[in-house]
Structure 1
Amino acid sequence: MGAYLGLAVGDALGATVEFMTPGEIREQYGTHRQILGGGWLRLRRGQVTDDTEMSLALGEVYLRHNAFPPGAVAEAFSEWMRGKPVDIGHTVRRGIIRFRTEGLCQVPENEMDAGNGAAMRCLPVALALLGASPEAVWSASRAQAHTTHHNPLSDAGTECVVELVQGAIQGAGLPWMAERVARLTAAHPEFRYDRKPTLNPSGYIVETLRVVFQALFGNDTFEAALVTAVNRGGDADTSGAILGMIAGALYGEEGIPRRWRQALLPEVREACETQALRLLAASPLGRAVEGERTRA
């Protein structure tokens, strides 16, 4: 629950300052820490963007199919786009149009597709595959990712996010998470981060995750980490969403400030809460727990 609400809260908080520089944020808001709506998308207070909406669409695929079939994922994303979402990334749009025009539900590998669009919507994979084998998790992660993003850096970053969320839900703390990120940076040095803040992160997965890692490991509460991430500016809704799902899994629902949870539109909050519980119940871990309860 904390992971899903954290995703939505991070999305809604960051959207207000998306594409602004840190200096512009300071001039207009001081330190941005309230869910206000507005921004370049002129959102209502508590409204979310494609990060949360695509996650919910992906989660419904698993609940219908008990898997992430590429064709069903592509169709779900296409149906989402038919609803004229408030925002959609260029790579996502291109992948969906390719599916509509050519019937291809997986895009070919492309060195230019190292965006953050697959990582921002990966939470349903983390929840639905809790307790599954690593091979099953990575296969599902790539099945959803390659609908629009097929790139080794995108794959590696997205899979790291999935593993961090799953580990946190199952009780891992920041030291374990730092070790997992160290494995990522050893394999892909592009993701290395340091104390120098990453400012104005673009949609490039490397810049996004540098912000996320700096905020996650540089703070010890959900609120402090999220405020740090979104005030870096740039693609702030996605930085916030990814940080929010990881930190939400780490600190739990009660670790997310009540004012932020209550600021979400009621329909958004309900959708996130409901899907989180349904995905967990459908996961291998959830089924095993239910089986133990039945035998007891």
Structure 2
Amino acid sequence: MSDHHTPLEHLIRRAQNAFLGLAIGDALGATTEFLTPSEIKFRHKIHRRMIGGGWLNLKPGQVTDDTEMSLCIARAIDEASGWHLHGIAEHFAGWLRSKPIDVGATCRRGISDFIMKGQTEKAYSDWDGGNGAAMRMLPVALFTLGDEALLEQYSIQQAHLTHNHPLSDAGCIAVGKLVQQALQGDDRPKLHATVRQLCAEHPKFHCKHYRGLASAYVVETLQTVFHYFFSTGDFEECLIGVVNQGGDADTTGAIVGMIAGAFYADKPWPRNWLKKLNPKVKTEVTALAERLVRLSPLGKRLQAAEG
């Protein structure tokens, strides 16, 4: 840590890079979403530039539901200066009414249930094992920094607005823990221990021999994230590996982007990615990341210590 940065300032910068990493991973991965690795190779050789396009015909640097739903959670927490599940649901509802360019079927059903019935917790469903709750975990991880019990409680609450399945719950909590560890400067072995714990408690996540599947099934999503995070050495290499795997590439990119964004916050990133990212998104995620950290238990302790 630089001498002229306080611990709080350093934490805020890491949080900002985590939110930027999510948005970059989302925008970069959207180009290759639903493609196979061989199709990506044929079209792009190696996809590494923020060019938009893809099945949604996006503008370069445009984000999708991964970033937009994360922003809904972050805005709701910021407006309430605390956790407000109904407020999060209201933001989701407003977002859905705005006719977003992309929304997953499970998320759409859950939000529609809130709009029509006021329901803030879906009943369990065998079909809710997707990645739509894990992809929006970053604001929860930032806001609960310093309180693991709150992380687990709020992770499941926000997940159950749209997804109620034990694998989704476990995936959300694991992603939140990994982000928090990276934010606080934990090394790779400590992050790997969190993944091993997840696999011990839920063996389906086991990924010793990665099979190359990157679907929207939360198990395969996180197997892809873990494989590339732990087998690469910097933010750029990690993200390029993930998005060239195809499948649900905007979401695998978003999740690995938030973890790697925090982990590699002190190292240089490709300038082109930050330059191309939608400027309004860049400005908002940077501001909200700071405010969520300041609202967190750890942020409040650091502020008190600084007087």
**TM above 0.5:** yes
Query: What is aligned with 1:291?
Result: 304
Q: Is the 8 A contact 1:69 1:143 kept in 2?
A: no
DSSP 3-state at the match of 2:173: helix
TM-aligned CA deviation for residue 255 of structure 1? 3.7
Taking the aligned partners of 2:87 and 2:264, their CA distance within structure 1 comes to 33
Letter aligned with residue 6 of structure 1: G
TM-aligned CA deviation for residue 135 of structure 1? 1.4
Structure 2 residue 232 is the aligned partner of structure 1 residue 213: no
Alignment partner for residue 26 of structure 2, among 7, 11, 14?
A: 11
Query: What is aligned with 1:24?
Result: 39
Taking the aligned partners of 1:195 and 1:263, their CA distance within structure 2 comes to 35
Letter aligned with residue 187 of structure 1: E
| Residues 68-123 of structure 1: CA deviation (Å, up to 9, x unaligned) | 33322211100111111110000000001111111211101112101101110010
Taking the aligned partners of 1:255 and 1:222, their CA distance within structure 2 comes to 8
Q: Is the 8 A contact 1:3 1:247 kept in 2?
A: yes
Letter aligned with residue 158 of structure 1: C
DSSP 3-state at the match of 1:40: coil
TM-aligned CA deviation for residue 285 of structure 1? 1.3
Q: Output the aligned Cα RMSD.
A: 1.1
Taking the aligned partners of 2:266 and 2:287, their CA distance within structure 1 comes to 14
TM-aligned CA deviation for residue 197 of structure 1? 4.2
Q: Is the 8 A contact 1:191 1:206 kept in 2?
A: yes
Taking the aligned partners of 2:61 and 2:266, their CA distance within structure 1 comes to 17
Taking the aligned partners of 1:139 and 1:27, their CA distance within structure 2 comes to 44
Taking the aligned partners of 1:96 and 1:73, their CA distance within structure 2 comes to 10
Using structure 1 for the length normalisation, give the TM-score.
Answer: 0.96
Query: What is aligned with 1:86?
Result: 101
Alignment partner for residue 139 of structure 1, among 130, 150, 153?
A: 153
Cα distance, 1:58–1:108 mapped onto 2, change above 3 Å: same
Q: Is the 8 A contact 1:58 1:73 kept in 2?
A: yes
Correspondence list, 1:1-296, <5 A: 1-132=16-147, 134-199=148-213, 201-252=214-265, 254-294=267-307
Unaligned runs of 5+ in 1: none
Letter aligned with residue 32 of structure 1: H
Taking the aligned partners of 1:101 and 1:282, their CA distance within structure 2 comes to 32
Taking the aligned partners of 2:200 and 2:23, their CA distance within structure 1 comes to 31
Cα distance, 1:258–1:83 mapped onto 2, change above 3 Å: same
Q: Give the fraction of aligned pairs with identical amino acids, expressed as a percent.
A: 47
Taking the aligned partners of 2:181 and 2:157, their CA distance within structure 1 comes to 21
Using structure 2 for the length normalisation, give the TM-score.
Answer: 0.93
DSSP 3-state at the match of 2:110: helix
Query: Structure 1 residue runs of 4+, over 6 Å off?
Result: none
Cα distance, 1:253–1:62 mapped onto 2, change above 3 Å: farther
Taking the aligned partners of 1:253 and 1:102, their CA distance within structure 2 comes to 46
TM-aligned CA deviation for residue 254 of structure 1? 4.3
Taking the aligned partners of 1:155 and 1:257, their CA distance within structure 2 comes to 33
Taking the aligned partners of 1:289 and 1:119, their CA distance within structure 2 comes to 28
TM-aligned CA deviation for residue 282 of structure 1? 1.3
Q: Is the 8 A contact 1:58 1:124 kept in 2?
A: yes
DSSP 3-state at the match of 1:117: coil
Task: Work out the number of aligned pairs and report it.
Answer: 292
